[in-house]
Amino acid sequence: MALLNIGEDPWLLEHETCEKLYRDIMEQLTLRQRQPRTSDKFSQLSATIRLRLKQYNNEIEQLHQKLGYGVQLTAAESERRNRQVEILRSKGLQMQKCFDDQLTDKNTEERKALVGASSPYFDDVSFERQTADEIRRNQQKMLGDQEQGLENLSQIISRQKILLKQYQMKWIYIMTFWMI
């Protein structure tokens, strides 16, 4: 029995276009991940990925709207296409999360490099996974540590002032002794 090909189903063609766009965006995300956050290439890829993600989400919505138009579908085929649209939406969310996580990870790496990997505030616990109470406790601990550091600095400065006064007194004494 021969199958009749009356023409391509536009929905299937658009679905394939969405799949291709997904692969392109994932490739760009991979390229972006290899770039330093402050590079021009990183910024260009970020802008391109943002635009492509919007385009991807718009195309998925159009695909969803065209589910029942133009072609008579069986209930099973309609359900299969609905699942495919949901899979595409899920991929879109994964790509958006990957895009956001890459930036967050790069920011965390830069903070660690700036503050130092030995800092107690970067103990492999992501800031995004902390509750509000944990963040408040960490802020209070940081403020306490900062206050202690400032107190130590104040004591050091006070000691230096005392040493300076002693040095000045000795210098004055020596100068007056040599002047006589």
Q: CATH no. for residue 35?
A: 1.20.58
- Total tally of structural domains belonging to the chain: 1
For 50-58, the CB contacts below 8 A with 24+ separation are 50/99, 52/21, 52/24, 52/25, 52/28, 53/25, 53/92, 53/95, 53/96, 53/99, 55/21, 56/18, 56/21, 56/22, 56/25, 56/92, 56/95, 57/92
Query: Does the residue 123 lie in any domain?
Result: yes
Backbone phi and psi for residue 68, each to the nearest 5 degrees, phi listed first? -105, 5
Element holding 103 (H helix, E strand): helix 75-115
Query: Does the residue 91 lie in any domain?
Result: yes
Query: Does the residue 173 lie in any domain?
Result: no
Two structure tokens written together for 171:
């210098």
Residue count (the chain): 180
Residue 82's domain comprises: 10-129
Query: Does the residue 70 lie in any domain?
Result: yes
Compute the distance between CA of residue 31 and CA of residue 41 in angstroms, rounded to an integer. 9
Query: Does the residue 139 lie in any domain?
Result: no
pLDDT of residue 75: 84
Query: Does the residue 23 lie in any domain?
Result: yes
Query: Does the residue 82 lie in any domain?
Result: yes
pLDDT of residue 88: 94
Widest pairwise Cα distance in the chain: 127
Query: Does the residue 144 lie in any domain?
Result: no
pLDDT tens digit at each of 180 positions of the chain: 344 455 677 888 999 999 999 999 999 999 999 988 888 999 999 999 999 999 999 999 999 888 867 667 788 888 998 999 999 999 999 999 999 988 888 777 777 766 665 555 555 555 567 788 888 898 999 999 999 989 989 999 999 999 989 988 888 888 887 776
Q: How many alpha carbons lie under 13 Å from residue 31 in its C-beta half-sphere?
A: 16
Contact status, residue 22 vs residue 60, Cβ threshold 8 Å: no
